[in-house]
């Protein structure tokens, strides 16, 4: 039991550490203007909240979510709907990962979309995240604390339980989900980025959503784009070079007048 509890705690703490290490790496890479989706001056001028406020907000949210997660593990014993044994088969492990990814994507798509379509929820909750008109790495989890609990904590709990993964497996899954979320908000299109090779839902795709013309599109996060395609909220875009360096994600012609 002691070993299982240790894995459950690691599944909560390790992704937080990964978040700050990975986002810090991206912030350093952000000095390479030729890979940026927005200039540094745009990042400073267009965003509606200071970076210090973002850091404080993310830290508070992470502490709150960690406390809730630990409480849930304590109450449920850590085994509600999940396996206490680490699978030895790669196929089983892969199926648990894919299942968890699909569950998380489904939960976040519909809730995220509803946060946009419900004016009250957008004004009082989700608009916090869209204060970052120009997203950057460590702002990936800058949300209203209640939204963070509903979107990330509940979504993570459902992914964990419905996939049947063990606490040990969840350490790797939630760390990977954290890396993917940070990458989606990093504002960089790095050559050879493996996440961009395997996932169409990338930093340019999500950057479109943060722009005014894309706020009704590209709700899918953090892995696939299937729900946007199925339900007609997919906005195709082209990636074009900016004259001053870097790239810009622009909607295709049929969306420019939308």
Domain ranges in the chain are 7-75+89-251
Mean pLDDT, range 129-157, rounded to an integer: 95
pLDDT of residue 54: 97
Measured CA to CA, the distance from residue 236 to residue 255 in angstroms comes to 8
pLDDT of residue 31: 77
pLDDT of residue 84: 58
pLDDT of residue 86: 64
Residue 3 pLDDT grade (very low, low, confident, very high; cuts 50, 70, 90): very low
Residue 17 pLDDT grade (very low, low, confident, very high; cuts 50, 70, 90): very high
Average pLDDT, the chain: 89
Measured CA to CA, the distance from residue 141 to residue 135 in angstroms comes to 11
Q: In this model, does residue 83 exceed pLDDT 70? A: no
For residue range 211-230, list pLDDT tens digits in order: 988 899 999 999 999 999 99
Mean pLDDT, range 107-112, rounded to an integer: 98
- And the tokens for 96? 């648990």
Instruction: Output 47-53 pairs: Cβ under 8 A, ≥24 positions apart.
Output: 47/131, 47/132, 47/133, 47/134, 48/131, 48/132, 48/133, 49/131, 49/132, 49/142, 51/138, 51/139
pLDDT of residue 87: 64
Measured CA to CA, the distance from residue 147 to residue 60 in angstroms comes to 13
pLDDT of residue 88: 65
Provide the 3-class DSSP secondary structure of residue 136: coil
Chain centroid to CA 197: 17
> If you search the block for the tokens 């909240």, which residue do you land on?
49
CB atoms within 10 A of CB 17: 12
């Amino acid at each position: 039991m002691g070993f299982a509890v240790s894995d459950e705690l690691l599944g909560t703490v390790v992704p937080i550490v990964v978040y700050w290490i990975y986002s810090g790496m991206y912030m350093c890479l952000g000095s390479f203007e030729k890979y940026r989706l927005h200039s540094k001056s745009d990042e400073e001028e267009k965003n509606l909240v200071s970076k210090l406020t973002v850091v404080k907000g993310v830290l508070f949210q992470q502490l709150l979510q960690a406390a809730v997660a630990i409480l849930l593990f304590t109450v449920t014993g850590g085994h509600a709907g999940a396996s206490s044994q680490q699978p030895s088969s790669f196929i089983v492990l892969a199926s648990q990962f894919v299942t968890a990814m699909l569950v998380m994507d489904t939960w976040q798509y519909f809730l995220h979309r509803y946060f946009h379509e419900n004016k009250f929820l957008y004004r009082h909750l989700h608009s916090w995240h869209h204060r970052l008109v120009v997203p950057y790495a460590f702002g990936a989890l800058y949300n209203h604390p209640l939204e963070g609990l509903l979107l990330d904590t509940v979504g993570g709990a459902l992914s964990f339980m419905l996939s049947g993964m063990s606490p040990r497996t969840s350490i790797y899954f939630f760390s990977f989900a954290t890396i993917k979320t940070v990458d989606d908000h990093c504002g960089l299109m790095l050559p050879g980025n493996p996440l961009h090779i395997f996932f169409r839902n990338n930093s340019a795709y999500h950057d479109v959503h943060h722009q005014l013309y894309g706020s009704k599109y590209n709700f899918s996060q953090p892995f696939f784009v299937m729900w946007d395609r199925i339900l007609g909220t997919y906005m195709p875009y082209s990636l074009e070079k900016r004259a001053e360096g870097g790239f810009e994600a622009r909607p295709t012609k049929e969306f420019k007048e939308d």
